[in-house]
Amino acid sequence: MNPPRISICIPAYQAEGYLPEALDSVRAQVFADWELIIVEDGSRDRTEKIVRSFAGSVLQSVRFLRHEMNRGLTTTRNTAMAAAEAKWIAILDSDDLWTPDHLQTLWARASAGDAELVHGGSVLFDSETGRDLEVRAPDTRAVAELPVSLWEGRYIIQPSSVLLAKALWEKVGGFNSEFQHLEDREMWMRCARAGARIGYTGRDTCRYRKHGAAMSAQSAAMAEAAARVLDQHLDWEIVPLPRRCQITAEAWSAAARLRWRTAPAIARRHFRRACELDWRARWWLHGCLCALLPDRSPTAR
């Protein structure tokens, strides 16, 4: 038998609460030439039972894999994508959803042959109420200014909105397991630096779930990851060096401000890095103040 045109890859960790709805959105796809690969990342809930039941309800191939120990989102995504038999891979997180025309729209854009990574827009919705909150999609200016807009963070690509060539995933080495936050942005930047062309469908076909408590609790880690991504790609010469240093320094300063009440030692390091890139007196002074504050982080107890 010929391999499917698209491999759908879903990483799952304690996913039983939202996975059935995600799978329902896969079943509803107008484009039907796909296989599904789900990798459970060391959790022991009803995920496997849910997947087995789903497999019995569709004609397409459904494979369930498992990490015996938890290895994190990025590694789990890579495990699923390594197992993909299709030339194109669609990413879907276990708590996100697709509109019925999602794969069809992505495939039509990919079939144009001028992009190795294609994506749609995403509608952010509240997990508790189901209410739509905002649309996350690049505007006309961001599309025109690729890849500068990608580096600056103005070009937004949600993972669950993406269809990419498996050859591209192999070329760049997959997702970087050193990043557990913003690993997607870091991945897209490596794809662009490797010469990959990015195509946008112009359709909002992904529904991205917002978990309010988790988002606020992880804000400091997200800010640090944003600074690390920029620092890692500081040598990308698509933006003038002073501008690169300024934006990266501001990112480190933002991360420091979120840390200085609970982890001033970490905040001080962030302020120091900001000053190394773009010295400002207030950052230097804030770093000095951090040395006088008690460290309330868990590692300090």
Render pLDDT for 202-230 as a digit per residue (tens, 0 to 9): 999 999 998 764 444 588 999 999 999 99
d(CA 173, CA 167): 10
pLDDT of residue 82: 98
Can you name the residues that pair with 11 across neighbouring β-strands?
39
**Which of these, 297, 296, 274, lies nearest to 285 by C-alpha position?**
274
Query: How confident is the model over 264-290, as a mean pLDDT?
Result: 95
Confidence of residue 295 (pLDDT cuts 50, 70, 90): low
> What span, in angstroms and rounded, lies between the C-alpha atoms of 57 and 53?
7
The reported pTM is 0.92
- Which of 75, 88, 118 has its CA nearest to residue 205? 118
Structure tokens at 67: 């990490």
pLDDT-derived band at 298 (thresholds 50, 70, 90) equals low
Q: Output the pLDDT for position 291.
A: 85
**pLDDT computed for residue 240 by the predictor:** 94
41-98 tens-digit pLDDT: 999 899 999 999 999 999 999 999 999 999 999 999 999 999 999 999 999 999 999 9
pLDDT of residue 33 exceeding 60: yes
By the 8 A CB rule, do 295 and 263 touch?
A: yes
Of 36, 6, 41, 39, which is closest to residue 23 (Cα–Cα)? 36
Q: Locate 92 and state its tokens.
A: 């879907």
Per-residue pLDDT, 300: 47
Tokens matching residue 274: 């900001």
Residues above pLDDT 90, as percent of the chain: 87
Q: What confidence score (pLDDT) does residue 141 get?
A: 96
pLDDT value of position 89: 98
What is the identity of the amino acid at 60? Answer: Q
- Measured between its terminal Cα atoms, the distance across the chain in Å is 59
When pLDDT is averaged across residues 228-257 and rounded to a whole number, the result is 96
The one-character DSSP state at 252 is H
Question: Position of tokens 């690049």?
Answer: 138
Cα 201 to Cα 195: distance, rounded to the nearest angstrom: 19
The number of residues in the chain equals 301
Mean pLDDT value across residues 106-117: 97
pLDDT tens digits, one per residue of 165-213: 999 999 999 999 999 889 999 999 999 999 999 999 999 999 999 876 4
Token pair for 2? 């010929």
Identify the residue with better confidence: 88 or 291. Answer: 88
The whole-number pLDDT of residue 301 equals: 41
Average confidence (pLDDT) over 29-38 = 98
Please check whether residue 296 is in contact with residue 266, taking contact to mean a CB–CB distance below 8 angstroms: no
- Return mean pLDDT, the chain: 93
Return the pLDDT at 216. Answer: 46
Model pLDDT, residue 103? 98
Residue 3, CA distances (Å) to 29, 114, 242 in order: 18, 22, 48
> What is the rounded CA–CA span in Å between residue 165 and residue 1?
21
Asked if 259 and 267 count as a contact pair (C-beta separation under 8 A), the reply is: yes
118 and 198 Cβ atoms separated by less than 8 Å: yes
